[in-house]
Amino acid sequence: ALISPATDRWILVLGPVLFLVYLLFLLFPRRLLHLLPARWFQSRNWLRTAYEGIEVLDRRQLGRIFGLSVLRYGTFSTQYLLLLLAFAGPLEWGIALWGIVLVFFLKSALPLPGIMELGTRELIAVLVFERLGMPIAAVVPATFLLYLINLGLPMLAGIIALQRIGGKGGAR
* pLDDT score at 159: 93
Rounded to whole angstroms, how far apart are CA atoms 103 and 107? 6
| Residue in 14, 34, 3 with CA at minimum distance from that of residue 105 | 14
Residue pLDDT tens, the chain, 172 long? 455 666 666 666 666 777 777 777 767 776 776 777 777 766 667 767 777 777 787 878 878 888 898 899 999 999 999 999 999 988 888 888 888 988 888 887 777 776 677 788 888 899 889 888 889 999 999 999 998 999 889 989 999 999 988 866 555 4
| pTM score of the predicted model | 0.69
Burial of 156 from C-beta contacts in 10 A (0-12 / 13-18 / 19+): exposed
* pLDDT score at 133: 85
Instruction: Please give the distance of CA 90 from its chain centroid, rounded to a whole number.
Output: 24
* pLDDT score at 77: 93
- Within 8 A by CB and 6+ apart from 94, the residues are 8, 11, 12
